[in-house]
A and B are shown apart, each in its own frame.
Chain A
Amino acid sequence: MSDNRIVVSGLSKNFGSVRAVQDLSFTVEPGRVTGFLGPNGAGKTTTLRMILGLVRPTAGTATIGGQRYLDLHDPLRRVGALLDASAAHGGRTGRNHLRVLCAAAGLPRRRADETLELVGLVAAADRPIKGYSLGMRQRLGVAAAFLGEPPVLVFDEPANGLDPEGIHWLRQFVRSLAAAGRTVLVSSHLLAEMQLMADDVVIVAGGRTVRQGSVADVLASVTTSTVVHVRTPDADRLHRALADAGAAVARPGGDRLTVTGMSAAETGGVALRAGVELHELRPEAADLERAFLDLTAGKAEIR
């Protein structure tokens, strides 16, 4: 169990004439949270289901610790997955739902009670699942994934339906899994959330990988030029001074300027030398959302 990498290699899936996933390759390392990002319909769920042996790839392979999911012995003790929060019989209680899974995985019944406690569902444990909110179902799904305390975890959009407190809890939980050396793959379209949660990202669009690496590297690779937002009562003079100093300046309107190709410090220096009063000097924060939009722009249609 030394190697619990998820390795996806040349994975493709066609549904009829729709090419849902095309030649996807990436690796998910243990001890890190890997975010799997992409717009709706990018093939994220299909890819996760291929990794888990539920969907047959048209081409390529996906292995966990070097083995296909189908070849794993006692799969629920090796890999925990949350794919579909609504996948439960509404007439069953939360506790019985987990007990069925314990039976299927050959785990003791007490694991059902332990994981209910872990996800904070003890109070609702003996109520039928049909009365659960989406957030409660997500927590039940997380409990189900963690029943066998597996070294590898796969979560598909786990933050769906969670309230802010729930998202905070999920973030802590996912981080703690990785901190304990587990391999964690989390798909999401909540980019800001991924920036807080993930160490690495794999960004897909139109069924293809567009970028992968650590969050920091991916951000650095797309934010080549810095952008600084400035507000001043003397916009004309500052505009001229900045242009003379070699920056590209846009004027969105009124007292505002957008400066490209110059750092915030340099912009402040130019303003001082020109004797222009500044009301605001704000470098644009590089965020994953911007990176994501830049990287996936126009690719969502490629099907």
Chain B
Amino acid sequence: MRLLHTELLKIRTTSMAWIMLALGVLMWIPALLVARHNVSAIGLADPSTETNLSAESAAQDLYTAGTVPSLILVMLLGVLVMTGEFQHRTATLTFLAHPHRVSVVLAKTATVALLGICWSLLLLVLNLLVGVLPLRERLGGLWLADPDTVGSVLVSMLGYPLWAAIGIGFGVLVRSQVVAVIIALAVTFGGTIAMLVVFALSQYLGAWVEDAVIGFPTVATLVMISGSAPGEPPAWVGAAVLAGWGVLTAALGSVRMNRRDIT
């Protein structure tokens, strides 16, 4: 608890978290607008998938609007919180107070995860007030009791601790703040680029390549949140992939952190 309190105080006493919050709001607005726009398409055929957009999935999209950019921001916060210790050379003081470094890494992960979950609760309330409530007639209700909708919201919240762990992990593995941010973003957005490449490759290499894109955290998150459409992997595979990334980066990072000389 002392570690958690310390880490929260560290974040509170700098401007970084407020900048992140502002960015989060900025990225949420367009996401909400898109989700609201999609409500007008309920019942119409979606030309890309040739299926009808159901009111239920439109409601789910509204409740979880802004989740993906928020997760990326939480990951960035993780990277910044961890690399900031070396950027500002405060690692010396941090590890003098807590010589057992892995406990510091774990506390940072928990702190960023906690902040992420608080943000996701705020996002949920905002999405309900500005998204679902005004459009409840078109949606045919609030869908609050719908198990799939509740599940989709809960699963999106699960993403925050996982992305926090990924961010902290990158932060520990890569000492330089700038390089760590670039690598983290590259892996994140690499998912989108990878999808395009994979679709081109799958003609030659077979369909398994198409399934392999789920290995990228963004794709895994999309699978996890949007649930299983026919022909897509189930949501738990996405969650497992994310957890794998989080555990892998955090574990490698902790081992490295323990051996590193703080000079």
Contacts and interface: CB of A to CB of B under 8 A. Distances in A.
Interface string B97-133: 1111000000000000000000000000000000000
B94 interface: yes
Contacts of A90: 88
Contacts of A15: 261
A261 B3 CA distance: 64
A218 to B, nearest CB: 29
A91 B94 CA distance: 17
Interface in B65-98: 84, 88-90, 92-98
A101 B3 CA distance: 11
Contacts of B88: 87-90
Contacts of A55: 261-263
User: Taking chain A's interface residues, is the majority helix, strand, or loop, or is none over half, making it mixed?
Assistant: mixed
B15 A54 contact: no
A49 interface: yes
A104 interface: yes
Contact of B2 (A49, A52, A75, A103): A103
A93 B2 CA distance: 21
B96 to A, nearest CB: 6
Contact of A106 (B2, B84, B261): B2
A101 B262 contact: no
B135 to A, nearest CB: 41
B5 A84 contact: no
B9 interface: yes
B13 interface: yes
B204 to A, nearest CB: 46
B26 to A, nearest CB: 21
B14 interface: yes
Nearest to A148: B97
Among the interface residues B2, B5, B15, B92, which one has the most CB atoms of the partner chain A within 10 A?
Answer: B92
Interface string B245-263: 0000000000000010111
Contacts of B9: 96, 99-100, 103
A92 B14 contact: yes
A156 B76 CA distance: 34
B6 interface: yes
Given A81-B96, A84-B89, A49 B13 contact: no
Given A55-B261, A55-B263, A87-B89, A75 B97 contact: yes
B262 A92 contact: no
Interface in A145-204: none
B95 to A, nearest CB: 6
Given A49-B263, A55-B263, A103-B9, A91 B15 contact: yes
A41 to B, nearest CB: 13
Given A54-B262, A56-B261, A87-B90, A100 B99 contact: no
B261 A54 contact: yes
A91 B99 contact: no
A49 B97 contact: no
A105 B97 contact: yes
A7 interface: no
A267 B111 CA distance: 76
Interface in A42-93: 45-46, 49, 52-56, 69-70, 72, 75-76, 79, 81, 83-84, 86-93
Contacts of A79: 96
Given A54-B262, A89-B84, A84 B97 contact: no
| 10 smallest beta-carbon distances between A and B, as pairs | A104-B97, A87-B89, A54-B262, A96-B13, A55-B261, A103-B6, A89-B88, A104-B6, A70-B99, A53-B99
18 contacts: A15-B261, A46-B263, A53-B96, A56-B261, A75-B99, A76-B96, A79-B96, A84-B92, A87-B89, A87-B92, A88-B88, A89-B90, A90-B88, A91-B14, A96-B9, A100-B10, A101-B97, A103-B9
Given A89-B84, A96-B9, 15 more contacts: A49-B261, A49-B262, A54-B263, A55-B261, A55-B262, A76-B97, A81-B96, A87-B93, A88-B89, A89-B90, A92-B13, A92-B14, A99-B9, A99-B13, A104-B98
